[in-house]
Structures are given as structure tokens and as C-alpha cells.
Amino acid sequence: MTRVIAISSPKGGVGKTTVAANLAVALSTFSKKVIAVDCNLSTPHLTYYITQQNHKLTLNDALLGKADIKHALYQENGVMYVPASNELSDIVDVDVMKLKKNIARLVNPEM
């Protein structure tokens, strides 16, 4: 059974990224398949919690229709994740209405 868990708050600085990263790592240690998606398009930080890599493709590319979200999927330390871009210019013209469809493609790759 697949579950999608959203960690959200309208207020910044409450620990959303910390909870998401720790939950992803904890679930993966119990042999659960985990994909963490950084949906914070304006100030994404999930990548810094998992790794310091620069990523060729990001969630922003998927929301802009430039790439399939599955190509923006990375793995580090047993956790699969989709980073958001740290470039401010990459949020221009992003269609957040495509987020649900992209998440569904991660859950059901046949879509």
C-alpha cells in the first residue's frame, strides 16, 4: 500500500524540512521505500539535509514540463528524493497545479 504524507505549515521555521528528512531516513531504515519531495519552491532546503549535490533536474523542471519527474529522482544514503531548485529564476512560470499529477507519477510509474 502506498501512502503520501504531506508535512506542511503556513509558518516558516517550524521544522517542516527537519521532520520530512528525519521521517524519510527513519522509514527507510525499516526497509520502506521512501521518496521525499521538496515542494518548497521558494526556499527549498531538503537537499541540504540529505546531500550537498547540485542536481541537473529538479521538481521545478517537472512542473515546467521540461522533464519527467522520474528523471529528477535521486538516491542518497538509502533515501530517494526529488529536490526543488535553489535558483530563484526557476520558480518563474512554474505550474503548481501539475504537482498532484507529478506526485501520482512517482506513486504509479505507469501513469
Q: What is the 3-state secondary structure (H, E, C) of the chain?
A: CCCCCCCCCCCCCCCHHHHHHHHHHHHHHCCCCCEEECCCCCCCCHHHHHCCCCCCCCHHHHHCCCCCHHHHCEEECCEEEECCCCCHHHHCCCCHHHHHHHHHHHHCCCC
pLDDT of residue 40: 93
* pLDDT (0 to 100) of residue 62: 97
Q: Could you tell me what percent of the chain has a pLDDT over 70? A: 97
Q: Looking at the predicted structure, is the pLDDT value of residue 76 above 80?
A: yes
Give the pLDDT score at 111: 63
pLDDT of residue 84: 96
Average pLDDT over residues 92-98: 95
Which pLDDT band, with edges at 50, 70 and 90, does 9 fall under? very high
User: Is the pTM value of this prediction over 0.75?
Assistant: yes
What does the pLDDT read at residue 27?
Answer: 95
Averaged over 50-66, what is the pLDDT?
91
